[in-house]
């Protein structure tokens, strides 16, 4: 039996682990917290999503070394800012035969690396079989068996094909993409625009405003992605517009929910204290602020969200400034 190890057992990792187990694969899930592991072992229900019930043969552990060494395929389902630390501390457990699958969406603060770049850097650049699995996919809908599409992206197309076939069921369809940088940038930056969409909801603006944000936001994402060597076409696909649409519009979106609370007047510090799951867009806003300066790319919406999050700027004033900027051609 082919086995897969998940490092991280949040909502998305848990949903994918359940899916692979039901497909007949052996699944081991690691979590750093022993109390969480014991709960999962005893209850077989997820600690964040009670409707996520694991098959009886899914194994749970907090022994990361044995978890890594027990499988050839390692799925990293961790917060993006934690991945370097986890890999660095357990570097000796990885080997060149592992296929490492990243399902996180973020850009490391300060280094400005995408997750696949962080993985390679933490493993001293000697690991080529890194695949990023991304796309418009809420855990809650995958758990309920709703039709979902993903994209498996890698510079190693053979490994990407293995992961494509692994994550393929009657209700989950996975496509190949050779532009891993574009896939990761699109999947990360859309979280910043989702925060903006949520702010619109919180203020009380309507569909016109959200459509404008999403369209102009994707223009900014594409602009920076192209400057960083990504393919423009990638942002028209599942990890671009697809992921942007679902994250900006869905009730399940943590980043949209965070933005909505900000739009309603709540402070970021108070919101994050009460959140049970991480909104990656907070960290990505900081990274994109640095990237746009580095690459000299104009990204007014992303910059406005950065100012709201980290400089306590009033969201309504930010909207006014965006709307009264110098008029320009649409496609510039």
Annotate 56-77 with three-state secondary structure: CCCEEECCHHHHHHCCCEEEEC
- Kindly report, residue by residue over 269-316, the tens digit of the pLDDT: 999 887 877 899 999 999 999 999 999 999 999 999 999 999 999 999
Residues 6+ apart with CB under 8 A from 169: 19, 23
Domains within the chain, CATH numbers bracketed: 3-178 (3.40.50.720), 181-323 (1.10.1040.10)
How confident is the model at residue 191, as a pLDDT? 97
d(CA 329, CA 332): 6
Q: Whole-prediction pTM value?
A: 0.96
Would strands 99-102 and 172-177 be described as parallel, antiparallel, or unpaired? Answer: unpaired
- Cα distance from N-terminal residue to C-terminal residue, the chain: 53
Backbone dihedral angles phi then psi of residue 158, each to the nearest 5 degrees: -65, -45
How confident is the model at residue 278, as a pLDDT? 82
What would the mean pLDDT of 156-164 be, rounded to a whole number? 97
Catalytic-role residue among 41, 91, 105, 190:
190
- Kindly report, residue by residue over 64-77, the tens digit of the pLDDT: 999 999 999 999 99
124, pLDDT greater than 90: no
How confident is the model at residue 1, as a pLDDT? 67
Q: Which two tokens stand for residue 148?
A: 């979902």
What would the mean pLDDT of 315-332 be, rounded to a whole number? 94
18 flagged as catalytic: no
How confident is the model at residue 299, as a pLDDT? 98
The burial class, CB within 10 Å (0-12 / 13-18 / 19+), for 56 is exposed
- Kindly report, residue by residue over 175-195, the tens digit of the pLDDT: 999 999 999 999 999 999 999
Q: Give the confidence band of 87 by pLDDT, cuts at 50, 70, 90.
A: very high
Name the average pLDDT for the chain.
Answer: 96
């Amino acid at each position: 039996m082919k086995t897969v190890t998940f490092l991280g057992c949040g909502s998305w990792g848990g949903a994918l682990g359940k899916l692979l187990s039901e497909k007949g694969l052996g699944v081991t899930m690691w979590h750093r917290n022993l109390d969480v592991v014991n709960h999962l072992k005893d209850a077989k229900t997820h600690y964040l999503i009670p409707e996520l019930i694991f098959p009886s043969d899914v194994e749970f552990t907090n022994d990361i070394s044995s978890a890594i060494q027990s499988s050839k395929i390692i799925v990293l389902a961790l917060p993006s800012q934690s991945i370097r630390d986890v890999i660095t501390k357990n570097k000796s457990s990885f080997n060149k035969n592992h296929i490492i699958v990243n399902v996180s969406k973020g850009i490391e603060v300060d280094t400005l690396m995408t997750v696949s770049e962080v993985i390679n850097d933490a493993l001293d650049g000697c690991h080529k079989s890194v695949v990023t699995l991304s796309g418009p996919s809420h855990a809650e809908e995958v758990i309920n068996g709703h039709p979902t599409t993903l994209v498996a992206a890698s510079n190693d197309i053979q490994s990407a094909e293995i992961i494509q076939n692994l994550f393929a069921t009657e209700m989950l369809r996975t496509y190949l993409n050779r532009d891993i940088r574009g896939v990761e940038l699109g999947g990360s930056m859309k979280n910043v625009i989702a925060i903006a969409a949520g702010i619109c909801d919180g203020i009380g603006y309507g569909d016109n405003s959200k459509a404008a944000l999403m369209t102009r936001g994707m223009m900014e994402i594409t602009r920076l992605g192209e400057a960083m060597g990504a393919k423009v076409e990638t942002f028209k696909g599942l990890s671009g517009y697809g992921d942007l649409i679902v994250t900006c519009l869905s009730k399940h979106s943590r980043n949209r929910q965070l933005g909505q609370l900000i739009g309603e007047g709540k402070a970021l510090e108070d919101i994050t204290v009460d959140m049970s799951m991480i909104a990656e867009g907070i960290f990505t806003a900081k990274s994109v602020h640095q990237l746009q300066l580095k690459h000299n790319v104009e990204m007014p919406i992303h910059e406005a969200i950065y100012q709201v999050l980290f400089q306590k700027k009033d969201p309504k004033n930010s909207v006014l400034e965006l709307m009264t900027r110098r008029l320009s051609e649409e496609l510039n």
